[in-house]
């Protein structure tokens, strides 16, 4: 995710090259509740156990596949959904929950048999199958529903979830919540699953989503169904749908990965930005290893929403997004999407790295002197840059410090352990945890193992600390004056 609200633009003029390398970051304006110090909730029937969002997700089963089928009539804003969730029971389940926000559920079946259901709380769909599901069984839940989707809660970055576009279309995007505004899900990043979408819209409209496309199938009723399929396991917040009068561009990366990019009416001018994608992906591959997703591309909406988001294989870009944002969201395809956080307190694994990827890009492509950039930013820093924590920052504060302090911390880490170890870590992380979840402590372990150094005090100062690190950590190695 990369956002625009209250941006602070830091430009470093490179006198020698006559270029300006700019990083855009957001000032600390979060007013958020903090539950960091509360004890983690037990995994109950309606919680996957993330202390920041205790009502999200559900234990007791592991979703392996979503097959979402929707019809959407843009002028009426009317959605009909028929979603199949395939899951494996990790315990015996007399009942279980899915997360679904709003929308009216008309029928639920489990294993083809009618099931009872109720709605509870903000977004709990509580399902009682005809027979309890035995531990270890794989079961299919079908949920039929309809209504006008609503946006999820407005987070610090603006609206999340389902939103209408100015052309009359719609799109769904948001972090941490968006999926449950249009399909029932186990809405936790811990439960990644494959994702297939069949979306039916009136002729003249078209649909873009994650992963690979199959040819659209026109009906004889004036509607056409579009088919998308993400075969790599994806976290629910990284799924998306865009319904608009898209202009599509299709190509192929040298590796054979298909590229599909979509431009909403008015956003066609972004084709020049997206034209850098093959070069950007090749650069990121040189740093992080082979591109880990099934497909690539971008979804360019013509809306000034508060963020762009790294939806899997095909980021969704706000109207203000330029080249640095394309670098950022594609870096997430490794850091965040292929390797997904275990809990939201691990979010630096996504944002610190995607932000530092922009530094690496500026270094490689524009000759940016990163040591100089680092010293300049530290010298200009005010107290607020240091008070935000990069690890376990508290619910609602996930995006407060990571964009500014995050790349500084990673640059300091690079100078602390040296380029050889740092470059090894950058590639080893997405290799070791590919298509999986991992935590910040897993990352610390990898760095310690790779560098052979005890970095406890360094990590404490930079990632757990809420003050400017002591000089020994602030100016390691060649950064020392
Ligand atoms: Zn990001």
Query: Residue ranges of the domains in the chain?
Result: 2-32+340-479, 61-245
How many A from CA of 368 to the centre of ligand 1? 21
In this predicted model, which residue has the larger pLDDT, 55 or 407?
Answer: 407
Class of CATH domain 61-245: mainly beta
Across residues 430-442, what is the average pLDDT?
Answer: 97
32 Cα: distance to centroid of ligand 1 (angstroms):
19
For residue 308, the SS3 value is strand
Is residue 253 packed enough to be buried (19+ CB in 10 Å), middle (13-18) or exposed (0-12)? middle
Q: What is the pLDDT of residue 250?
A: 98
- Gap from CA of 299 to ligand 1 centroid (Å): 16
310 CA to centre of ligand 1 in angstroms: 7
Instruction: Report residue 157's pLDDT band, with 50, 70 and 90 as the boundaries.
Output: low
φ, ψ of residue 418 in degrees (nearest 5):
90, 155
Rounded to the nearest whole angstrom, what is the distance from the C-alpha of residue 128 to the centroid of ligand 1? 38
Please tell me which residue, 41 or 134, carries the higher pLDDT value.
134
Give 336 Cα–ligand 1 centroid separation in angstroms: 8
Comparing 46-50, 360-364, 417-421, the range with the smallest average pLDDT is: 46-50
Q: How confident is the model at residue 455 (pLDDT cuts 50, 70, 90)?
A: very high
Q: Do residues 368 and 360 lie in contact, with contact meaning Cβ atoms separated by under 8 Å? A: no
Tell me, in angstroms, the distance from the centre of ligand 1 to residue 70's CA. 28
What is the pLDDT, as a whole number, of residue 56? Answer: 81
Per-residue model confidence (pLDDT) at position 45? 64
Centre of ligand 1 from the C-alpha of residue 71, in Å: 31
Q: What is the 351 CA–ligand 1 centroid distance (Å)?
A: 5
Distance 91 CA to ligand 1 centre (A): 35
Q: Residues 144-155: what's their mean pLDDT?
A: 85
Give residue 197 CA to ligand 1 midpoint distance, Å. Answer: 25
Residue 446: in which H helix or E strand, if any?
Answer: helix 440-451
Check residue 13 and give its pLDDT: 28
Mean pLDDT score, 169-198 = 96
Which one, of 329, 364, 356, 349, lies nearest residue 415 by Cα? Answer: 356
Provide the whole-model pTM: 0.91
The Å distance, Cα 13 to ligand 1 centre, comes to 24
Q: What is the model's pLDDT at position 177?
A: 86
How far is the C-alpha of 228 from the C-alpha of 231, rounded, in Å?
10
Rounded Cα gap, residues 88 and 37, in angstroms = 33
Backbone angles phi, psi at 88, to 5 degrees: -115, 130
**The 193-202 sheet, strands edge to edge:** 113-114, 104-110, 138-147, 78-89, 61-73, 193-202, 223-234, 212-218
From the CB of residue 276, how many other CB atoms can be counted at a distance below 10 Å?
17
Task: Compute the residue count for the chain.
Answer: 481
Is residue 385 pLDDT above 80, yes or no?
yes
Question: Residue 198, CB half-sphere, CA atoms under 13 Å: how many?
Answer: 13
Instruction: With a cut of 90, say whether residue 182 has pLDDT above it.
Output: yes
pLDDT tens-digit map of 255-294 = 999 999 999 999 999 999 999 999 999 999 999 999 999 9
For all residues of the chain together, what is the average pLDDT? 91
Note the pLDDT of residue 180: 96
pLDDT at 14 over 50: no
For residue 314, the CA-to-ligand 1 centroid distance in Å is: 14
Supply the pLDDT for residue 209.
98
Read off φ and ψ for residue 241, nearest 5 degrees.
Answer: -145, 140
How many A from CA of 122 to the centre of ligand 1? 27
425-449 mean pLDDT: 98
127 C-alpha to center of ligand 1: Å? 35
Is pLDDT above 70 for 40? no
Equal fold, 2-32+340-479 vs 61-245: no
Q: How far is the CA of 474 from the centre of ligand 1 (A)?
A: 24
Determine the pLDDT at residue 8: 34
The Cα 181–Cα 177 span in angstroms is: 8
CA nearest neighbour of 232 among 311, 326, 124, 350: 311
Q: Is the pLDDT of residue 220 over 90?
A: yes
Q: Which CATH number fits the domain 2-32+340-479, given the four candidates 3.40.50.10300, 1.10.10.10, 3.40.50.510, 1.10.390.10?
A: 1.10.390.10
Ligand 1 mean position to 8 CA, how many Å? 16
Look at residue 32 and tell me whether its pLDDT is greater than 90. no
Q: Phi-psi bin for 342: left (phi > 0), alpha (psi -120 to 50), beta?
A: alpha
Q: Parallel, antiparallel, or unpaired: how do β-strands 61-73 and 124-128 relate?
A: unpaired
Q: Give me ligand 1 centre to Cα 214, in Å.
A: 29
Give the rounded distance of the alpha carbon of 432 from its chain centre.
19
- Cα–ligand 1 centroid distance for 164 (angstroms): 23
- Distance (angstroms) between ligand 1 centre and the Cα of 329 equals 6
Separation CA 194–CA 150 (nearest Å): 24
Tracing tokens 């917040």 back to the chain, one arrives at 237
pLDDT tens per residue across span 54-110: 888 788 999 999 999 999 999 999 999 999 999 999 999 999 999 999 999 999 999
Query: What percent of the chain is modeled with pLDDT above 70?
Result: 90
Q: Which two tokens stand for residue 279?
A: 């070069």
d(CA 96, ligand 1 centre) in Å: 32
CA of 132 to the centre of ligand 1 (A): 41
Residue 44: band (very low, low, confident or very high) from pLDDT cuts 50, 70, 90: low
Distance in Å, CA 12 to ligand 1 centroid: 21
């Amino acid at each position: 995710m990369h956002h625009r609200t209250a941006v602070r633009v830091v430009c470093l003029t490179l006198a020698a090259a006559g270029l300006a390398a700019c990083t855009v970051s957001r000032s600390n304006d979060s007013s958020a509740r903090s539950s960091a110090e509360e004890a983690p909730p037990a995994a109950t029937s309606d919680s996957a156990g993330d202390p920041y969002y205790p009502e999200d997700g559900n234990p007791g089963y592991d979703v392996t596949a979503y097959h979402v089928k929707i019809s959407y009539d843009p002028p009426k804003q009317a959605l009909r959904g028929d979603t199949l969730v395939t899951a494996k029971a990790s315990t015996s389940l007399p009942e279980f929950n899915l997360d679904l926000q709003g929308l009216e559920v008309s029928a639920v079946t489990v294993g083809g048999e009618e099931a009872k259901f109720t709605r509870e709380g903000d977004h709990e769909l509580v399902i009682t199958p005809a027979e309890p599901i035995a531990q270890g069984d794989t079961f299919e839940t079908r949920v039929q529903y309809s209504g006008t989707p609503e946006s999820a809660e407005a987070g610090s970055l603006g609206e999340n979830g389902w939103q209408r576009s100015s052309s009359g279309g719609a799109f769904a995007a948001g972090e941490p919540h968006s999926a449950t505004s249009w399909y029932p899900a186990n809405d936790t990043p811990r439960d990644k699953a494959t994702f297939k979408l069949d979306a039916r819209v009136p002729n003249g409209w078209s649909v873009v989503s994650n992963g690979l496309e199959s040819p659209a199938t026109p009906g004889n009723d004036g509607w056409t169904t579009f088919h998308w399929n993400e075969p790599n396991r994806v976290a629910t917040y990284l799924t998306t749908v865009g319904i608009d009068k898209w202009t599509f561009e299709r190509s192929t990366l040298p590796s054979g990965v298909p590229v599909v990019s979509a431009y909403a009416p008015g956003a066609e001018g972004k084709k020049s930005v997206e034209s850098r994608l093959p070069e950007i992906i090749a650069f990121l591959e040189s740093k992080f290893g082979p591109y880990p997703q099934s497909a690539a591309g971008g979804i360019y909406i013509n809306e000034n929403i508060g963020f762009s988001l790294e939806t899997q294989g095909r980021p969704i870009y706000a109207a203000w997004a330029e080249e640095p944002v394309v670098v950022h969201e594609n870096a997430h395809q490794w850091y965040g999407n292929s390797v997904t956080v275990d809990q939201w307190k691990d979010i630096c694994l996504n944002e610190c790295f995607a932000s530092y990827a922009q530094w690496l890009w500026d270094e490689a492509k524009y000759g940016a002197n990163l040591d100089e950039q680092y010293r300049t930013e530290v010298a200009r820093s005010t107290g607020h840059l240091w008070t935000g924590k990069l690890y376990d920052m508290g619910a609602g504060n996930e995006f407060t410090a990571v964009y500014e302090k995050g790349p500084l911390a990673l640059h300091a880490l690079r100078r602390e352990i040296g380029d050889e170890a740092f470059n090894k870590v950058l590639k080893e992380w997405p290799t070791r945890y590919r298509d999986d979840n991992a935590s910040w402590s897993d990352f610390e372990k990898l760095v310690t193992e790779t560098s052979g150094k005890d970095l406890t005090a360094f990590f404490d100062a930079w990632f757990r600390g809420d003050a400017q690190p002591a000089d020994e950590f602030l100016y390691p190695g060649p950064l020392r004056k």
